Amino acid sequence: QVQLVQSGVEVKKPGASVKVSCKASGYIFTSYYMHWVRQAPGQGLEWMGTITPSGESTTYAQKFQGRVAITRDTSTSTVYMDLSSLRSDDTAVYFCATLGASFDHWGQGTLVTVSS
Amino acid sequence: DIQMTQSPSSLSASVGDRVSITCRASQGINNYLAWFQQKPGKAPKSLIYAASSLQSGVPSKFSGSGYGTDFTLTISSLQPEDFATYYCQQYKNYPYTFGQGTKLEIK
């Protein structure tokens, strides 16, 4: 079965960077885009960006341009989301997801807390 | 960016009721619309894609309709496990955008 397994809880100080991983299994990794969506405490869902199946191209929400980088390693079927210059309002649960219409699968989420 | 506006923001209903949630896009998105259910502490779960197609394994009590800018999610015969927050999402253009959510609560 399809599984997206994300890395564990992170606690970071303001100004630091965080790298969250998402390891995929159960499907052909190079066939689907991967997206990152975040959810601040008590808030709604916010799309951050995506990477193409080959990993050659990325698209990011304007809000995160210059601070986020999404990469993928096809040898390990893992996608990474790197967010830099962290602020307190980046505290959120970060999800990877295929968001592929009929092929829609989500990771379990990774809590990132930014606090001094 | 395409803005997605859901209504109502919260909804109180009883077990056995039928409810509808609407989602309006700020510009036409054809049928590039998905609906998700989210329970506290869990990842969202896809219910509907392409505005009206039921995701595999999702019970037929969930149905979606609409095209262009106006969409509806209907849930019939509410059961206790259906009380959750529901989101619409457009995937016509980047950035993908979500509605603000509708919290469905037990009356």
Q: B97 to chain A, minimum CA–CA distance in Å?
A: 6
Residue of A nearest to B9 (CA): A44
Q: What is the pLDDT of residue A97?
A: 98
The partner residue sitting opposite A101, judged by closest CB among B43, B50, B101, is B50
CA gyration radius, chain B:
13
What is the full per-residue pLDDT of chain A (116 aa) written as tens digits? 999 999 999 999 999 999 999 999 999 998 999 999 999 999 999 999 999 998 899 999 999 999 999 999 999 999 999 999 999 999 999 999 999 889 999 999 999 999 99
Q: How far is CA B15 from CA A15, B81, B84, in A?
A: 48, 10, 13
Count of beta carbons in the 10 Å neighbourhood of residue B36: 27
pLDDT tens, position by position, B45-58: 999 999 999 999 99
Cβ(A73)–Cβ(A92) below 8 Å: no
Q: What is the pLDDT of residue A101?
A: 87
